[in-house]
Amino acid sequence: MSGSRWEEVVSAHRADQRDHILDAALRLLSERGMAGLSMSSLAQEAGTSRATLYHYFPDIESVLVAWVGREVERSVRQLLAEAGGITDPWNRLAHLVRAQCGLFASQEHRLGAEHLESEAVSPAVRAEVSARMAPLRDLLARTLAEAAARGSARPGISPELAADLVLGMLGALRRHLVAGHLGTEEAAAAALGLLRQGWFPP
């Protein structure tokens, strides 16, 4: 086996082992909550030694940061793949808003929010989420710029600021969706109604 091929095999194994540990962490959070998540309990749940676990993650915070980053990256990757074939800017934006609302209302997201809400204030978690959200922010900015260029959206503020405002609105809706105060369609309709009135005249 060539050196490059061996490096690929080792890299794939490390990625698989890392995912296995993060999946074990999610199971522990589901069953025991944050109080039951320690390096010892995680090593046992993952079926590995503590030495091996420390080889991948130095502490529980790094596990949580990695888990949050993985979940955000997966959801963003799926969103981008789904939206890639939508040519009309408004329809693309509407799809992104509905998809994000659906994600926030999902059982898995609620579970993560329930156990990790206290961790959300961690600078490391915030930085990880921001980095993983960057491709979605870029797509929103391009979509809004395209809509303005076509004349289907009112110009006035930069696409980058507009994208951040959309994400901020989705963040506000997230709290209501996670708490169960709003359904997916109701939340999406509220967001899209404001966007239609503010930027996309009929």
C-alpha dihedral sign at 80, 70, 135, 202 = positive
Please, what are the domains in the chain? 1-58 (1.10.10.60), 60-198 (1.10.357.10)
Task: Report pLDDT digits (tens) over 112-163.
Answer: 665 555 544 578 877 888 888 899 999 999 999 999 888 887 777 899 999 9
pTM above 0.85, yes or no: no
pLDDT at residue 124 in the model: 80
| pLDDT at position 181 over 60 | yes
Rounded Cα gap, residues 65 and 138, in angstroms: 22
Task: Report pLDDT digits (tens) over 2-16.
Answer: 667 656 666 777 888
pLDDT at residue 115 in the model: 54
pLDDT at residue 69 in the model: 86
Spell out the residues 6+ positions from residue 60 whose beta carbon is closer than 8 angstroms to its own: 37, 38, 39, 42
Q: Give the residue with greater pLDDT, 88 vs 178.
A: 88
Q: What is the mean pLDDT of residues 18-41?
A: 88
Helices in 84-183 by DSSP H: which ranges? 89-105, 107-116, 123-150, 159-179
pLDDT at residue 9 in the model: 64
Task: Report pLDDT digits (tens) over 75-109.
Answer: 899 989 989 889 999 999 999 999 999 988 887 77
pLDDT at residue 168 in the model: 93
pLDDT at residue 150 in the model: 87
| pLDDT at position 166 over 60 | yes
Q: What is the mean pLDDT of residues 177-198?
A: 91
| pLDDT at position 64 over 90 | no
Q: Give the residue with greater pLDDT, 189 vs 120.
A: 189
Radius of gyration of the chain (CA): 20
| pLDDT at position 195 over 80 | yes
Q: Give the residue with greater pLDDT, 120 vs 22.
A: 22
Residue 84 structure tokens: 């890639």
Dihedral class, residue 180 (left if φ above 0, else alpha if ψ from -120 to 50, else beta): left
